[in-house]
Amino acid sequence: MDREMALKELKKHVKNKNLLKHMYACEAVMRKLACHFGEDEDKWGLAGLVHDIDYDTTKDDPVRHSIVGSQMLADLGAPEDVVYAVKVHNNAHGLPRNTLMDKALYATDPVTGLIVAGVLIRPEKKIDYIDVMFLVNRFNEKSFARGANRNQMASCSDFGMSLEQFLEISLEAMKEAKGELGL
């Protein structure tokens, strides 16, 4: 499965434009993390891009989310490690995150929401107007972007990154993709 095939499948299964933007943001962050770690950028990007492929159909049933998506991806011939990373990005299953990619996708999922929320509270509504310290301050405000799970983001320590370093790489990745993200 390459990016072109993944995009074709996403357009079939995902109708929510904001969800698509979230998935593009996760792709950008995962690619940047792969570069940082010397891993396969295309494979990591693919995991970020397709991780919520089933969300439109499973959003009301969190126990099925990512199980359905990982099966869809397996049926489409996605690499096994991508399929597994997608399956374990949902904490509801209690499955172990074994690889660096598994752990990175788990932390990446909510960080994109924190960054987008940070952009949206700025009067300019542009990603270029926020920085890492702004995000750290928002991270510490528990009432800000409540849906962005702080523990999940802080799990970046499981792959050897400080929160600040993780936010910096994530923000840089999303700034590079700002056109596609509408930020």
Per-residue pLDDT of the chain (183 residues; tens, 9 = 90+): 999 999 999 999 999 999 999 999 999 999 999 999 999 999 999 999 999 999 999 999 999 999 999 999 999 999 999 999 999 999 999 999 999 999 999 999 999 999 999 999 999 999 999 999 999 999 999 999 999 999 999 999 999 999 999 999 999 999 999 999 999
Rounded CA gap, 29 and 53, in Å? 17
| 130 to 58, 108, 155, 179: CA distances (angstroms) | 33, 18, 23, 16
List CB contacts of 112: < 8 A, sequence separation 6 or more: 22, 25, 26, 29, 170, 174
Report the run of H or E that residue 145 belongs to, with start and end: none
Domain 3-181 has CATH 1.20.1260: no
Q: How far apart are CA 173 and CA 139, in angstroms?
A: 18
